[in-house]
Amino acid sequence: MAVMANNKDAKNSMDTSKYVRYTSEQVEALERVYSECPKPSSLRRQQLIRECPILSNIEPKQIKVWFQNRRCREKQRKEASRLQTVNRKLTAMNKLLMEENDRLQKQVSQLVYENGYMRQQLQNASVAATDTSCESVVTSGQHQHNPTPQHPPRDASPAGLLSIAEETLAEFLSKAKGAAVDWVQMPGMKPGPDSIGIVAISNTCNGVAARACGLVGLDPTKVAEILKDRPSWLRDCRCLDVLTAFPTGNGGTIELLYMQTYAATTLASARDFWTLRYTTVLEDGSLVVCERSLSGTQGGPSIPPVQHFVRAEMLPSGYLIQPCEGGGSIIRIVDHMDLEPWSVPEVLRPLYESSTVLAQKMTIAALRRLRQIAQEATGEVVFGWGRQPAVLRTFSQRLSRGFNEAVNGFTDDGWSLLGSDGVEDVTIAINSSPNKHFASQVNASNGLTTLGGGILCAKASMLLQNVPPALLVRFLREHRSEWADSNIDAYSAAALKASPYSVPGSRAGGFSGSQVILPLAHTVEHEEFLEVIKLEGHGLTQEEAVLSRDMFLLQLCSGIDENAAGACAELVFAPIDESFADDAPLLPSGFRVIPLESRTDGSGGPNRTLDLASALEVGSAGARTSGDSGANSNLRSVLTIAFQFTYESHLRENVAAMARQYVRSVVASVQRVAMALAPSRLSAHVGPRPPPGTPEALTLARWICQSYRLHIGVDLFRADCEASESVLKLLWHHSDAIMCCSVKSLPVFTFANQAGLDMLETTLVALQDISLDKILDENGRKSFFTDYGQIIQQGYAYLPAGICLSSMGRPASYDRAIAWKVLNDEDSTHCIVFMFMNWSFM
């Protein structure tokens, strides 16, 4: 019995040493230490026992075990929370996918029904008598063509505006639930738990439209508050003014808004919108914010056009926000607009006709902002340099806004154009009221606003071929020395001082100091980076050693994901001083590259120009049809450059000359970089492969060479090149710009070789939209019309040296030109060919 008692006492002693019960005071003390240091060292644990008497009866080993268990519980809690979040996302995404699947099923059923109905109508029309056939056709027409509903006249009274609001709500809900518009999934956007959402674009509709569904970890009221503050997340939004607002009887709110948006390039006008916004709650608890333009067709109040803005139309759009079980919201976004593409140059119209561009700039941007704020609230996003997320977002917005202001140069901000130096490739704008320009970001006592002069902006736009925007911007970001001038950077940095340095001379050399990229912040999906660029060892001259210390730039880089369809790539930067204050003045400069996505239209048949484009498409695995020729135009992009400088009044002309020369040198550097980055469009061992049934390219090449030999008496190429494939290849690779022009009262181009396309900065598909009078200067037009009779009678004429303008407005000089008449096989005049010799951009 004594042995058994001893064994029992030993077991109880062992259990006491293995399992320790902590009092609430002991747990509280340990939790305080854990919040400061989750993994204390042995010395720290011993110090804890000495400093806390309530822990003196606990062994250090037991305290070590407590911290191990506490870390394990924390890890399990986080994992459980993560799995619950993933489960909620999967549940919500499953619900969205089921709804999308139901919509597609209904669409398929509707198409099958319509297909059967049309088949029945065709059968009835083919077997019926003449009168019966006519009656059937009339009946069919009545069934298919629904007359446009005529709305009763409505005024600006609350009742009239409520009628418009309810109509807008009905149309928006129809689009949000997948009806009213033929939606197709946006390229590159795959739904999943980690994706931003389900994104679709319109297949065929009036204007451009995009639709997105997603899950965000914010309550519906917060989501609506963020999205209604459009200038905070839509980078293209210049201002949004609520002119009037009043409640409705059903608990909703009606607002009349005026919004202005920036133009993306220097070649187009900005847009503005006059809209009605309706906020209400549906019977199922969903929050709705819908909006549409007010125009003569809907009735209601109107405002006059605003100078320098093109009035665009917002068709019923908005947000449907549903509360989600377990927290968060399911949101459906619809953006539907008519951006009036007729008002921009032909080469830029794809920007205003592409639903993909709208989705990237507006729809996806809204989802990204919601997701960013939700993750910032949970602490999942880590920012550097001790800055709060709101401060860093403000820096990004100020950089983007400042660059947009520079590109647009609105007169109400104080901008005015400065006279050119005779060449229109670079536009110079000045702002002699910097206090007005910087009123939104700095006070009058800070840096830039103390100057006695103003701000000068030099900007230019150009067309790029076969260079992905993301690749070009990434190269410009990582290899600043390939295009930047250290003297100009130093001059820009000196503008932050009280006494700016004298105007430097731009030089063609490389960057003198090294570049270090210091990450500052990035968005959740890494589509945008905010960083500080450290330029080491900077100086104007050896004597002015005061500027030889390090220089800093605040830089915003976005759109460098090559897989993002329709995404704009930007590199915007501004000099900052070492203090980097939250209210530091910023004078942004930079680059913007926008892809041009052509809108395909299968209704028209192939024409000569499209056939030639297909015939000269090289490098594919086989022959291509004319319908594929639009793929070539997708490789085009528009580059916009804007650089801002400060100046003192007595140095304005000097700064303008320096800025003009610098932008031209940057343009030349970017062109050189673009040519190096562009993939080879014409393989050295593969010649043009005309598709079957389209001999126009081969035939035209033969006619051009035969007519040249007939009129001028010499061969355009070597005499041993007799095969038609070789002639077409030599014509395409010829170093001089060769262009075919129609014989009409208003001649337009129908074909050009590669040098001709480079000179005009266009493609074969877009070539037919360019007329001869648009590229020739005044002297060139006079010379052509003087010699036109000689070309028709004699067959050819030599034209003196002159200047041509590309489709982007850039001047190109040539030493001389020759024009000759092209005869077909029946000796009839087919076209006139121009060959511009030794051309180059000025």
Does 647 lie in the same domain as 521? yes
Please identify which residue in the block is written with the tokens 């130093």: 490
Mean pLDDT of the chain: 77
d(CA 486, CA 515): 11
DSSP letter, residue 207 = S
Contact 563, 421 (CB under 8 A): no
Closest CA to 319 of 229, 205, 187, 207: 229
Contact 202, 182 (CB under 8 A): yes
Q: Which residues of 20-32 are buried (b: 16+ CB within 10 A; e: fewer)?
A: eebeeebeebbee
pLDDT of residue 297: 61
Closest CA to 281 of 179, 180, 169: 169
pLDDT digits (tens, 9 = 90+) for 536-551: 764 444 444 444 567 8
Maximum pairwise Cα distance, the chain = 136
d(CA 263, CA 348): 11
Contact 364, 243 (CB under 8 A): no
Among the ranges 272-276, 515-519, 818-822, which has the highest mean pLDDT value? 272-276
pLDDT surpassing 80 at residue 73: yes
Does 337 lie in the same domain as 199? yes
Does 475 lie in the same domain as 366? no
d(CA 459, CA 265): 10
Tell me which of 677, 707, 736 is where a domain ends: 677
pLDDT digits (tens, 9 = 90+) for 295-344: 766 666 788 889 889 999 999 999 999 988 777 888 999 999 999 999 89
Q: Is 525 within the bounds of a domain?
A: yes
Q: Is 133 within the bounds of a domain?
A: no
Contact 596, 351 (CB under 8 A): yes
pLDDT surpassing 60 at residue 486: yes
Least confident of 27-41, 191-205, 289-303: 191-205
278 Cβ contact list (under 8 Å, min separation 6): 165, 166, 168, 169, 252, 253, 254, 255, 288, 289, 290, 291
- Token pair listed for 132: 């019966």
pLDDT of residue 165: 92
DSSP character string of 719-761? TT--SHHHHHHHHHH-SSEEEEE--SSS-BEEEE-HHHHHHHT
pLDDT of residue 440: 45
Cα 595 to Cα 28, 266, 297, 757, 779, distances in angstroms: 60, 15, 34, 18, 34
Q: Is 818 within the bounds of a domain?
A: yes
**Confidence label for 400 from pLDDT (cuts 50, 70 and 90):** very high
314 Cβ contact list (under 8 Å, min separation 6): 273, 275, 291, 292, 293, 336, 337
Map residue 46 onto helix, strand or coil. Answer: helix
pLDDT surpassing 80 at residue 644: yes
pLDDT of residue 271: 95
587 Cβ contact list (under 8 Å, min separation 6): 402, 448, 455, 492, 495, 574, 575, 644, 645, 646
Does 415 lie in the same domain as 374? no
pLDDT of residue 719: 54
684 burial class (0-12, 13-18, 19+ CB within 10 angstroms)? exposed
Please identify which residue in the block is written with the tokens 């549906």: 282
**Confidence label for 466 from pLDDT (cuts 50, 70 and 90):** confident
201 DSSP β-pair partners: 184, 210
Domains in the chain, number:
3
Closest CA to 809 of 415, 262, 266, 263: 266
Does 490 lie in the same domain as 349? no
Does 211 lie in the same domain as 252? yes
pLDDT surpassing 50 at residue 624: no
pLDDT surpassing 70 at residue 213: yes
d(CA 761, CA 465): 8
CA 150 to chain centre: 38
DSSP character string of 308-355? TEEE-EE-SEEEEEEE-TTS-EEEEEEEEEE--GGGS-GGGHHHHH-H
- Token pair listed for 434: 């910097």
- Domain holding 797, by residue range, is 695-841
Contact 807, 345 (CB under 8 A): yes
- Token pair listed for 232: 């905070």
Least confident of 412-416, 494-498, 502-506: 502-506
Tell me which of 677, 709, 732 is where a domain ends: 677
Tell me which of 378, 401, 425 is where a domain ends: 378
Does 257 lie in the same domain as 218? yes
* Percent above pLDDT 70 for the chain: 75
Instruction: Provide the Cα torsion 494, 500, 502, 507; round to 10°.
Output: 20
Q: Is 193 within the bounds of a domain?
A: yes
Does 371 lie in the same domain as 408? no
Contact 436, 430 (CB under 8 A): no
Least confident of 124-138, 185-199, 563-577: 124-138
Least confident of 334-348, 576-590, 753-767, 817-831: 753-767
Mean local confidence (pLDDT), 787-812 = 81
d(CA 587, CA 648): 16
Helices 220-228 and 364-377: crossing angle, nearest 10°? 130
Q: Is 611 within the bounds of a domain?
A: no
Does 459 lie in the same domain as 371? no
Q: Is 559 within the bounds of a domain?
A: yes
Q: Centre a 10 Å sphere on the Cβ of residue 260 and count the other Cβ atoms it contains.
A: 20
Strand order across the 589-595 sheet? 415-417, 427-431, 454-465, 636-647, 589-595, 569-576, 551-558, 528-535, 515-522
Question: Positive or negative CA dihedral for 114, 115, 116, 117?
Answer: positive
Task: Give the 3-state secondary structure of 674-712.
Answer: HHHHCCCCCCCCCCCCCCCCCCHHHHHHHHHHHHHHHHH
pLDDT of residue 143: 40
Q: Rounded to 5 degrees, what are φ and ψ at 792?
A: -70, -40
Contact 751, 699 (CB under 8 A): no
pLDDT digits (tens, 9 = 90+) for 723-749: 545 788 888 888 888 988 887 767 778
DSSP letter, residue 481 = G
Q: Is 9 within the bounds of a domain?
A: no
Q: Centre a 10 Å sphere on the Cβ of residue 604 and count the other Cβ atoms it contains.
A: 7
**Helix, strand, coil distribution of the chain in percent, nearest 5:** 40, 25, 35
510 Cβ contact list (under 8 Å, min separation 6): 481, 482
Pairing of strands 749-752, 796-799: unpaired
Q: Is 93 within the bounds of a domain?
A: no
463 burial class (0-12, 13-18, 19+ CB within 10 angstroms)? buried
DSSP character string of 604-620? SPP-HHHHHHHHT--SS
Helices 469-478 and 652-677: crossing angle, nearest 10°? 120
* pTM for this model (two decimals): 0.64
CATH number of the domain that 190 lies in?
Answer: 3.30.530.20
Does 275 lie in the same domain as 185? yes
pLDDT: is 611 or 197 the higher one? 197
Strand order across the 811-814 sheet? 802-805, 811-814, 840-841
Does 295 lie in the same domain as 254? yes
**Confidence label for 126 from pLDDT (cuts 50, 70 and 90):** low
* Percent above pLDDT 90 for the chain: 22
CATH number of the domain that 724 lies in?
Answer: 3.30.450.20
319 burial class (0-12, 13-18, 19+ CB within 10 angstroms)? buried
CATH number of the domain that 584 lies in?
Answer: 3.30.530
Does 706 lie in the same domain as 808? yes
pLDDT surpassing 80 at residue 773: no
Helices H / strands E in the chain, number of each? 23, 28
